[in-house]
Amino acid sequence: MSSPSPISASARQRRLEDGTHFIELSALPTRIRIGETDLEALTYDGTLPGPVITLNEGEAVRLAFHNALHAPTNLHLHGLQIPPQADDPHRVVAPGQTVTHAFELLPESAGTYWYHPHAHGRVTRQQWSGLAGALIVRGAPDRLPELAAASEHVLVLQDLSVEQGLPAPHAPMEWMSGKEGQHLLVNGQIHPVLEAATGLVRLRLINASVARYYHLAVPGHPLHLIGQDGSFLEAPQPVNTLLLSPGERADLLLQVPAAARLELHDLPYARSAHATPRAAATPLATLEVRGPQRPAHLPARLRPLRRLADADARPDRVVVFGASMDPPRFLVNGQSYDRHRIDLEVRQGSTEVWELRNPTRMDHPFHLHVFPFQVLTRNGVPEPFLAWRDVINLRAGETVRIALDFSRFSGDVMLHCHIAEHEDRGMMANVRVRPPEVTL
Ligand SMILES: [Cu+2]
């Protein structure tokens, strides 16, 4: 099968004289082809998904973002621990305008991130129309000999339905359930063939869909999780399947010492009590592994992580995701989003434990900007391994406790459900991180 390269284009980037990594990115309407269908999508730099931005931990970055759409938008650098002022979704970019995001990456920030629009009320339509791209931060663990020798693919997972040459419009019910597309896209293609060399194969997966969950497996082949969101794990963790809710990322290793043809599948998963899951697995991509027999040893250790709190730590506050009917609205702690209201206040320098509750009958992925967290327990069960997360799925009826690190910055950030429809319909809250108290 011949197809264009399923590897996304690289971003327009160069090194400035002072060493700063400079990147340019534009959002624009673009005519693209999905399978046999032509449509008018929205893209970054003319490709769906947008180009892969590759950065290095610790470096200074300037990113010039230009809006060539016919509507306001903005750019959110999802998961990056940078000052809130350098990634403020309240700031909207008018058509024709360019804004610059300037920041420094933290020393130990290697991981898998992504970028997408975040202008409140417009997110769903713009992201559904194609606006999303991968952002990779490389660091010391990437230079471990096992990882340096691995074949690596970044897989951006999106879905789309097309109607009359445009991304299909939402039906009223889809503003409640979250819209899922008929086409499952891996790097903008329906069921691509990805080539890799024998040995270790590394897959960085990004769920860039507005609402679809991916329940991933490679039948007959164990997976080893080495990273989640913007974090390495301390050591590889064997998993058979992996649930990836909207916004989540996973960094996986496959041991493939001899030539093989493997299938990446999306298994059935019911994310709502109202929905009937598909009965069968859907093939997402083929992994064609070629070459002579080669060892495929896993790295023993990846990166030490600091534990923020014990699993039995008491919560400092409670965040409840909810919904109401007539009119249908999505809520955080009983309230619909108001950009002028500060919903939670914390102090810079503090570590907090939050209890996240989802009493609704559907899953909601919780996301907090800028400040990472560690999962302590899910329904009282301690999380089996450490990772810094920025998205955690709350299953219907589930209670999850997390520990959050507010040491780095002060400023205003948002927490929200990462189902774009729910976020646009009010399931979002403003968090103010106050500067530390000055002692005279
Ligand atoms: Cu939700």
Taking the centre of ligand 1 as the mean of its atom positions, its distance from the CA of residue 247, in whole angstroms, is 12
pLDDT of residue 89: 94
CATH of the domain at 350: 2.60.40.420
Residues 334 and 412 in one domain: yes
* Ligand 1 centroid, distance to 250 Cα (angstroms): 20
Domain containing 56 equals 12-139
**Are both 16 and 129 inside the same structural domain?**
yes
Same domain, yes or no: 101 and 55: yes
| Confidence bin at 5 (pLDDT 50/70/90) | very low
Mean pLDDT of 233-251: 98
pLDDT band for 42, please (50, 70, 90 cuts).
Answer: very high
Q: Which among 241, 273, 290 is the end of a domain?
A: 290
- Convert the pLDDT of each residue in 8-35 to its tens digit: 667 799 999 999 999 999 999 999 999 9
What is the CA(433)–ligand 1 centre distance, in A?
24
Q: Dump pLDDT digits (tens) for 274-321.
A: 777 777 899 999 999 999 999 999 999 999 999 999 999 999 999 999
Residue 277 contacts by C-beta under 8 Å, 6 or more apart in sequence? 268, 269, 270
- Residue 204: inside a domain: yes
Q: Is residue 5 part of a domain?
A: no
Q: How far is the CA of 427 from the centre of ligand 1 (A)?
A: 7
Determine the distance separating the centroid of ligand 1 and the alpha carbon of 305, expressed in angstroms: 30
SS (H, E, C) the chain: CCCCCCCCCECEEEECCCCCEEEEEEEEEEEEEECCEEEEEEEECCECCEEEEEEECCCEEEEEEEECCCCCECCEEECCCCCHHHCCCCCCECCCCEEEEEEECCCCCCEEEEEECCCCCCHHHHHHCCCCEEEEEECHHHHCHHHHCCEEEEEEEEEECEECCEECCCCCCHHHHCCCCCEEEECCEECCEEEEECEEEEEEEEECCCCCCEEEEECCECEEEEEECCEEEEEEEEECCEEECCCCEEEEEEEECCCEEEEEEECCCCCECCCCCCCCCEEEEEEEEECCCCCCCCCCCCCCCCCCCCCCCCCCEEEEEEEECCCCEEEECCECCCCCCCCEEEECCCEEEEEEECCCCECEEEEECCCCEEEEEECCEECCCCCCECEEEECCCCEEEEEEECCCCCEEEEEEECCHHHHHCCCEEEEEEECCCCCC
Q: Does 1 score more than 50 pLDDT?
A: no
Q: Are residues 123 and 161 in the same domain?
A: no
Predicted confidence band of residue 331 (pLDDT cuts 50, 70, 90): very high
Structural domain count, the chain: 3
Answer with the one of 100, 115, 139 that is the final residue of a domain.
Answer: 139
Q: Is the pLDDT of residue 95 over 90?
A: yes
Residue 105: its pLDDT value, please? Answer: 98
Please give the distance, rounded to the nearest whole angstrom, from the Cα atom of residue 383 to the centre of ligand 1: 22
Mean pLDDT of 372-392: 98
* Ligand 1 centroid – CA 40 distance (Å): 28
Ligand 1 center to 159 CA (angstroms): 17
Confidence at residue 8, expressed as pLDDT on a 0 to 100 scale:
60
Q: How far is the CA of 113 from the centre of ligand 1 (A)?
A: 20
Residue 4 confidence (pLDDT)? 39
- Confidence (pLDDT) at 367: 98
Q: 154 and 134, same structural domain?
A: no
Q: Same domain for 267 and 151?
A: yes
Query: How far, in Å, from the CA of 248 to the mean position of ligand 1?
Result: 14
pLDDT at 37 > cutoff 90: yes
Judge whether 421 lies within some domain: yes
The answer on 154 and 86 residing in a single domain is no
Mean of pLDDT values over 101-127 = 97
Residues 135-163 have pLDDT tens digits of: 999 999 999 999 999 999 999 999 999 99
For residue 318, how far is its CA from the centre of ligand 1 (angstroms)?
17
pLDDT above 80: residue 7: no
pLDDT of residue 274: 77
pLDDT at 128 over 50: yes
Residue 103 alpha carbon to ligand 1 centre in Å: 30
CA of 423 from ligand 1 middle (Å) equals 7
286 occurs within a structural domain:
yes
Considering the domain boundaries, does residue 301 fall inside one? no
If you measure from the C-alpha of residue 419 to the centroid of ligand 1, how many angstroms do you get, rounded to a whole number? 5
CA of 274 to the centre of ligand 1 (A): 14
Average pLDDT over the chain, rounded to whole?
95
**How far is the centre of ligand 1, averaged over its atoms, from the C-alpha of 140 (Å)?**
35
102 pLDDT band, cuts 50/70/90, is: very high
Domain end (from 139, 170, 194): 139
Residue 393 alpha carbon to ligand 1 centre in Å: 9
Are 208 and 240 within one domain? Answer: yes
Task: Identify whether residues 283 and 187 lie together within a single domain.
Answer: yes
Is the pLDDT at 72 greater than 60, yes or no? yes
Whether 213 and 323 share a structural domain: no
Q: What pLDDT does 113 receive?
A: 98
Q: How far is the CA of 417 from the centre of ligand 1 (A)?
A: 5
For ligand 1, the distance from its centroid to the CA atom of residue 397, given in whole angstroms, is 13
How many angstroms separate the alpha carbon of residue 126 from the centre of ligand 1? 18
Instruction: Compute the distance from residue 177 Cα to the ligand 1 centre, in Å.
Output: 8
Q: Find the 29 Cα to ligand 1 centroid distance in Å.
A: 28
User: Considering the chain, what percentage of its residues have pLDDT values greater than 70?
Assistant: 97
Q: What residues flank ion ligand 1 with Cβ within 5 A?
A: 364, 417, 419, 422
* In a shared domain, residues 212 and 343: no
- The per-residue pLDDT for 11 is 79
Is residue 162 domain-resident? yes
Inside any domain, residue 414? yes
Task: Say if 304 falls within a structural domain.
Answer: no
Residue 3 has pLDDT above 50, yes or no: no
For residues 49 and 175, membership in a common domain is answered with: no
Separation of CA 358 and ligand 1 centre (Å): 9
